[in-house]
Every structure is written in C-alpha cells, then in structure tokens.
Amino acid sequence: MNEPQYSTPRRSRFVRVDLLHAHGSPTRYLYRHRGCRCVACSAAASSDSFRYQNEHREEHRANNRKYASAHREEQGERERRYRAENPEANRAHNHARRARLRGAQGTHTAADIAAQRTRQKGSCYWCGTKVGRHYHVDHVMPVILGGSNGPENLVIACAPCNLSKHDRHPADWAGIMF
C-alpha cells in the first residue's frame, strides 16, 4: 500500500504520481513522461542536460550552421520584420555595438531611451524643438572622449543638433553653435 500510485490517461504523456510515498512530498502533481520534478530529480536532470550539451557542443553548432545556411532568407526576413516592428530596440542595439567597438563603459536599453524621451517630453535636449518619431540618441559626453554608454549620458536630440555636434565636447560645440 506504500507504493507509488500511477495512472496514465489515454493519449497523454502525463503521469500522476503520489509523491508522499515516492519522494517525501505531501502533495500530488502532474508529471511529464520524463519523470519526477522534485528537487533531487530536477538537479539530476539538470546536470545530465548540462553534461550532454557540453559533450555535443560541436555537433549542435554544426547543426545550427547547417540550418542557418538552409534558411538564410527566412531568418533575414524575420530579422528585418523585428527591426521594423521594434525601432527603439534596434536603435539601442546599434548604439551599444558602436560603443563596444570604441571601448565605452555602460549599457542602455530601449526602455532607457523611451524613458529619456518621456523626461524630455519629445523635445531636443539641445535646442528644444519637437523631435517627433524621427530623433537621434546623443551622448552628452561623446564616447570617443571617454563618455559612458549608460543611460545617464544619453539625451534625445534632433538630427541637425546631433549631426552638428558630432564628437565634440558639449562646451566646445555650444561655443560654435551660439
């Protein structure tokens, strides 16, 4: 009577296990066909999975390369659609990439850019004009001059201000602009 009770529904991969007798748990759970999800069994399955991934790493990489080469157009279309649907995330990704290439510290996300745009009420940080949907994300202290790529160094700017400021120090650029 102290044995685990199993019942398999028709056409289902789930098994109901009485864990009170199986692993010391006072409740009943619905488990997949792979087995128990108690702490001990989960840890064992996790270590087995990790070991398998390490042993077959090159095989997985070869399969991924094969799939990518066979579905190049499909993946390209998926990436183009994502960039079109998520312009702020794409912009943050591009900024982060350029900053990494220049060795800048700090990172920011699309949410950081959106928050900055909200704080600035959709206006250019430098001249105060409304930027609308077409705005640039500018580093107050340019990355090339040692500025960080973190959200504390980002502002929303109109294209003319950002393109004229380029990589100048804000004080130098303000002297030229005004």
Do 45 and 92 lie in one domain? The reply is no
Q: Among candidates 111, 161, 154, 115, which has minimal Cα distance to 134?
A: 161
Q: Per the structure, how many domains does the chain have?
A: 2
Task: Read off the CATH number of the domain in which 127 is found.
Answer: 3.30.40.220
Residue 178 has pLDDT above 50, yes or no: no
Q: Are residues 92 and 138 in the same domain?
A: yes
- Identity of residue 148: S
Q: In Å, what is the CA distance from 2 to each residue of 18, 39, 46, 89?
A: 10, 21, 28, 56
Domain, as residue range, for 97: 86-177
pTM of the model: 0.50
**Tens-place pLDDT, residues 59-95:** 999 999 999 999 999 999 999 999 999 988 888 888 7
Same structural domain for residues 51 and 90?
A: no
Phi, psi (degrees; rounded to nearest 5) at 128: 85, 0
50 & 91 share domain: no
Q: What is the pLDDT of residues 157-171, one digit of tens each?
A: 999 999 999 888 888
pLDDT at 166: 86
